[in-house]
Every structure is written in C-alpha cells, then in structure tokens.
Amino acid sequence: MRQIMDTCCAAEDDGGLIRQQIPMTDAAKASNLYMPKLATLLRAGYGLGDLRADAVAGLTVAIVALPLSMAIAIASGVGPERGLYTAIVGGFLVSMLGGSRFQIGGPAGAFIVLVASTVHLHGIEGLVLATFLSGLMLAAGGVLRLGNLIRLIPAPVTVGFTAGIAVIILVSQVRDLLGLTLAGGEPAEFGPKVAALVQALPSLSAPAAALAFGVIGLILAVRRWRPAWPALLIAVALASVAAVLLHLPVETIGSKFGGVPNRLPMPHLPDLALAKVLAVLPAAAAFTLLGSIESLLSAVVADGMSGRRHRSNMELVAQGVANSGAALFGGMPVTGTIARTATNVRAGARTPVAGMLHSLYLLAFMLIAAPLAAYVPLAALAGLLAVVAWNMVEKAEIAHLVRENRGGAAVMAVTLALTLAHDLIAGIGAGCALAAGLALVRRRR
C-alpha cells in the first residue's frame, strides 16, 4: 500500500492532476514528493493571465484575512499586530513552499484556546518559542513522511474537538461581545470563566452589545444577499465608522493596544535555553498536532473543490518552515485555514502566487493604513469571531452521527466534553482511544 501511494503521489503532472502511475526510482519519488507546488507550476509556464487571476484572488483573500487575523490574535491574548505578522510571514512561506496549489496560511481560530493558554502560562516569549519549536516538529514530520498518518484520526474525533474549540472561542468573546466589566481577571479554565461572565452580566454595555450584534447581523445579511462581497471587512469597517461618528463609549484596538505598528519587526531567534525549551515543549507538541490536522484538512478541502491533489508531506514541511519563520518575527502559530483557502479557490486562484500576493497585500496595509486599525471596536471583532465559531461547528456531521452512528456520536461527545473540561490533547487522546476500542469490539462481533 505504501509503495502504491508513493507511486501515485509521485506521478502528479505539472498541472497537479494524476496522469499516470508508473514505477519510479526512490530518488525520483522523493524529488516529486518534496517539490513545492509553486516550483512545479512555474516550470510548466506562468503567464500574464495567471498573474491577473492570482492578483484578484489574493486581494479577495487579503480582504477576508485582514480583520480576521487581528481578531484571532486579540482573542488569543496577544496584540493584533502579531496576527498580521503571522499572516504576512507565515502565509507567504506556506504558499511559496507548500504542497498545495491553493492553501492559504495564517492564524486560525482553532488555535485561540491553545495560544491563550500558552500565553497565560509562559508569556509572549514562551508562545514565540513554542511556535518556533512546533515549526521544527512539523518539518520533521514531513521529512519522515507522516503526512498521511494524520488522516487516520477518526472523523468523530475531528468533529468533536472542532465543536469544543468553537464553544470555547464563543465563550472567550462574551466579555467583549457584551462589553462586560469583570471584577478580577478573566479565568483561563472553561467552568470558572463561564461563572465569572455570568456574575458580570449586570455590567453589560448597551453600545458594545449593539455593535457586536450589528456586526453579526450584517455579516449574515451580506453573505445571504451579496455573497460575493467581503462581509467581514464591510461589517467591521461600518462598525468602526459608527463608533467614531456616534462617539460610542466602547473599547477599541487603539484604546487597548495603542494601535498597530506600520512595519514588520526585525527577525530574531527566541531564547533557546534548555529550561525554557522543556517548559514549552507540551505546548509546541499541541501546536504541531493541531496544525498538522488543520492544514491537511484544509488541503483536502481545496482538493475537493478544485479536483487537484496536494503533496501532504511537502505541505507539512512548508507549515514547519512557516511556523519557525513567523516566530522569528514574533508571530503566533501558522496553519492552513479552511475558510480562506476555500475563498481563494472560489476567487479564481490558479497558483500559489495568489497566496503569496495575499500576504503582500496585508503587508501593504500595515505599511500604509495601519493607523486606521486603532479605530476598530473590540466588540466588532468579537462579533466577527462569534460568526467564525458558529461556522466552525460541523452541524450536518453532528446530526448525521447522532441519527445514524451511535458509536461515532459517543466518540464525538467524549472528545467534546474533555476538550471543554480539560484541554484539546486530552479530548483527542480520549476520543481516539474510545474509537479504537469500539472498532475492536465491532471486529470481534
């Protein structure tokens, strides 16, 4: 089976589709499996029409990624600029080196829980170090050809931990969504966090709540009536204008973070002291596991939409380089993002150049228009992330499991419960163990 899989992957033609299945030498297999899609496509020829299509697609994705990158960073407990650093540096490297034609890399909502926990335990420097180490682990996984193993994780486990992450993201946004004032700091654990938010409900801010729910309603309306329009950017921009013109007493990026820098920082290595490396190693391993799952699922989605085939091991190597590269600039974890990748495909992208241009567009915004970000209300970004959390839940899959697969529903429920009660690794581990146990029982029967 392994030999057949290698032969099939190595037989990709320059267009990315399977053309033939002929035996190849080990050296030829490796050269194809570990060749970035960009190199393959440029070798086949790249014309002005391709550049025009990629430029339009890249701009479309950048418009989606701009508010989302800042919102994810803020929800993760870091400044909005780190989300932009991640999308610019990490996104560029993912597209330039990746094994997928359409993959868009950047900060992802799925990482909010892990990043926030890492910042709480180890600070920003610990987060940067964990991201750097995760990059090394991802690259090593690609070199060792572990890309296909990620697909062995049972689907109910993926559905369960994704739903758990979505719930945690939504709860983490309630404070900004409603403009609540907490007596002390917001607890990191799920249960105490919910209790603290409930106690703070009397401090609800009507202007903040109105902005947040206005953003949610506008995003849903635009997506329904004008799906080609950039709903996220329109909603956040209008909320920002309303807050300024009406002098609403709401917290903004400027009031909390002092705005967004208008340039990238100078790259530097994180502190690699052994004690610090050992301290953040569990977080780095969690980033690696979630990043590999998320990025390869995103690549599979792009394959399904386009009829192409990605190179999973090259994709892991690229994700590794991108994470370590983003860490050099103070960024956070990078992964393939399903929604932005799907947007890239729908926008007519032809090559990875579209993803590279998306990063350059974001860099241009930072260089030219970064001061405008200071006026964005945090309530607007909370509303945006509430929509993201809702979209993360695979509602059709959950309904299917509940109706037709009791064992799968049990695996999903256990994964969801432990993700909420403990953490993501516990949820995935328990879910996989239960799925394996149920599979053994079925075989014996």
- The two tokens of residue 45 are 């020829």
Mean pLDDT of 77-101: 95
Residue 242 has pLDDT above 60, yes or no: yes
Coil vs helix vs strand at 76? coil
**Alpha helix positions (H), 98-230:** 112-143, 155-172, 174-178, 190-199, 206-225
pLDDT tens track for 314-338: 999 999 999 999 999 999 999 998 8
Mean pLDDT of 411-423: 88
Where is 380: in which H helix or E strand? helix 378-392
Residue 5 has pLDDT above 60, yes or no: no
Dist. CA 242–CA 247, nearest whole Å: 8
Residue 12 has pLDDT above 70, yes or no: no
Mean pLDDT of 362-377: 92
Residue 122 has pLDDT above 50, yes or no: yes
Answer for the pair 135, 331: CB distance below 8 angstroms, yes or no: no
Query: How many C-alpha atoms does 397 have within 13 Å on its Cβ side?
Result: 18
Nearest Cα residue to 214 out of 383, 385, 388, 374: 383
Which band of pLDDT confidence, cut at 50, 70 and 90, is reported for residue 103?
Answer: very high
Mean pLDDT of 71-92: 94
Which band of pLDDT confidence, cut at 50, 70 and 90, is reported for residue 207?
Answer: very high
* Residue 285 backbone zone (phi > 0: left; psi -120 to 50: alpha; other: beta): alpha
Which band of pLDDT confidence, cut at 50, 70 and 90, is reported for residue 309?
Answer: confident
What is the rounded (10 degree) CA torsion for 121, 122, 124, 125? Answer: -170
Nearest Cα residue to 418 out of 164, 121, 159, 114: 164
Q: What pLDDT is attached to residue 10?
A: 33
Nearest Cα residue to 285 out of 112, 159, 138: 138
Q: Mean pLDDT of all residues in the chain?
A: 87
Kindly tell me the burial class for residue 305, based on how many C-beta atoms sit within 10 Å of its own C-beta (0-12, 13-18, 19 or more).
middle
Dist. CA 150–CA 142, nearest whole Å: 11
Where is 335: in which H helix or E strand? strand 335-336
Dist. CA 316–CA 292, nearest whole Å: 7
